[in-house]
Chains A and B, each alone.
Chain A
Amino acid sequence: MRDVAIIGAGMIPFGRRDEDTLMEMLAYAALKALDDAAQSDTGHVLPPIDAVYVANMGGGMLQRQTAIASSLVDRLSLMPAAAETIENGPASGASAVKNGLLAIASGYYDCVLVVGGEKMREVTGWRATDFVATMTHPQAEYPYGITLPGMAGMFTRLYMEQYGVTREHLLAISLKNQEMGTLNPYAHVEMALDRDGIFDSPHSIVNNPVTADPLHLYDLCPVSDGAAAIVLCSLELAKKLSKPPVLIAGFGQATDTQTLQEREDPTDLKAVTIAAQKAFAMANLTPADIHVAELHDAFTILEIAESEHVGFFPKGEGGKAALAGKTRLGGQIPINVSGGLKARGHPVGATGVAQLVDIVWQLRHELPANRQVQGAKNGLTVNFGGFGNNVLAFVLKRVEQ
């Protein structure tokens, strides 16, 4: 198998992009990634794009548009490149990257474009909530009115009871990630939260109401529009470019039961553990070697639980670590320096790709000082699908030229 590197990365600002169609967002992000790769290609060694993988979860339901990848290659004039749309729930982004990775690693393709995008704000909150809830079991869960925040609420209750996670711990994640969002021009939410306004003050009952007990409004990521893209090629080829290649050193994916109740221990996110372990084993690295991580904090509890399941902290310690500032920029392991899903936003198909884009920028040391993890060499991403029933992890590594 060949080593595969990321040689181009691009993203458009997440938010409410009423003016743009889904296809426009995908095209804008793709062009940014292609231009980024081209800039690096001063010796004109890059071959044309062989294949395009497009991550999207809701085009069929929300835009009534299917075969999105075929449409995108046409728009980008990339014919006759191979193209397919990857739908894997909120893990679609990382799944699309995986497909690109395997295609190049196998030697079949030389240069691949991966784009992830979602347009969710076209519909009302009720419809968007219903769309996301279609991931749940169609007979045993969905008819009851369960939502993904509801699943997270049930999970949080168990996690609080078994591991002593408190609202203070969850609050530490909301405050940290929204603070980082104010520094990220790509973030949907650019508003820092105030502890008094969302927790201590009696007025917080209106500002930060219970949304999926015990989770509150600011424990949830926003519903966003957005797109992100990367360009992949073999490491060998990447070494001929001017920007430092970012090696996909490790990758892992694992699944779990669809319903929480059928898991032996519903607080055990086995798919996260296995995906991360596989990624670390392939990269020949350990959690202690990671300098920066983008974890899937669709709900604050998930950042805590994932930080434990990937091995940064022992079980029950993730919340305390966050409260102690260990996951902030400058801390032991900076998590979601981008603001995470919580602040960057969560256009479901885009998220898994956007996480990689942010880590690429970190490992190339391209970010402004207030967001850059100094000297970062190794990064981790976790993209969490369903309620932990399909999880992908990537370990990325800066390769010095």
Chain B
Amino acid sequence: MAVDMELEAVLRPIQYPMVPYPPKVITLANGKKMVIRQAMREDVPAILKSVHPCLFIERDYYDIVSARLYGELLAWYRYRVKSEYCLMGQVDGYLVGVVNGRLEDEKVGMSYHTLAIDRGLRIGSHLFAAKMEYHIEYLNQDAVLIVAESPIGFRRWMVEYPLEATKIPHELGGGDSYRLTREIYLKAKPRLVVGDRPVPQDLMDEAMADIKFADDNTIRERIAGLKGR
């Protein structure tokens, strides 16, 4: 696609500088190691391949979460969103989950979505925790605004942390935001935020090689199949 850089200069929102998220590794309930690392802008087309099959899964609101995530990642790829980032989880090099968000300003973050592509392993919990860790500990923000679009999300974030209700509208529309403050984060951290750093070189190499993707049917089966949890 030809890009008119003069026009782009007008269309592209400003970007705050963001320190990189240092990768970490988590041992999952099945003993597998999940590497969580920051996605690069050029990873987006590949990630969208795994998000795509989720667009058609109604179970547990996967359709709405993945449709929005698809748009958000595309907007980041095309420079149409302010200060967005994306973290991803990989097991054996395979993409198993994606989280994203952005900076509203230097002190307040806007949480977007959490998509677990493999289920029953608390991948969503780990990735959401990594997202909060990034905002508070690395981007040094004071608060993150969050809404849940699925009952599972509501239970995992609003109830488990627990987050505080506000009257601040969230940019995803719908209801008012819940807020994770630095204080709430630090209190929840010992029971919700885990992971080892640095990631051993062999695991890091595997994660950084071309991202592997399960085929569409496997993804659909994992999320919406009989054994879905």
Contacts and interface: CB of A to CB of B under 8 A. Distances in A.
Direct touch of chains A and B (CB < 8 A): yes
A186 to B, nearest CB: 10
Contact of B227 (A15, A126, A203, A204): A15
Interface of B: 26-32, 59, 120-122, 125-126, 129, 151, 155, 190-195, 224-229
Query: Contact size class for A?
Result: 20 to 34
Contacts of B229: 16, 188-189, 222
A197, A198, A203 — which one has the most chain B CB atoms within 10 A of its CB?
A203
A16 B122 contact: no
Contacts of B226: 13, 15-17, 188
Interface string A8-30: 00000101111000000000000
Interface of A is mostly: loop
Contacts of B225: 15-16
Nearest to A206: B194
A190 interface: yes
B227 A193 contact: no
Interface string A187-200: 01111111111100
Given A125-B155, A206-B129, A206-B194, A18 B31 contact: no
A49 B27 CA distance: 53
Interface in A169-205: 188-198, 201-205
Contacts of A222: 229
A234 B137 CA distance: 71
B191 A207 contact: no
B188 to A, nearest CB: 11
Contacts of A387: none
Given A189-B120, A203-B195, A206-B192, A197 B227 contact: no
A194 B227 contact: no
A197 B31 contact: yes
Given A16-B229, A18-B224, A125-B155, A205 B29 contact: no
A206 B59 contact: no
A12 to B, nearest CB: 9
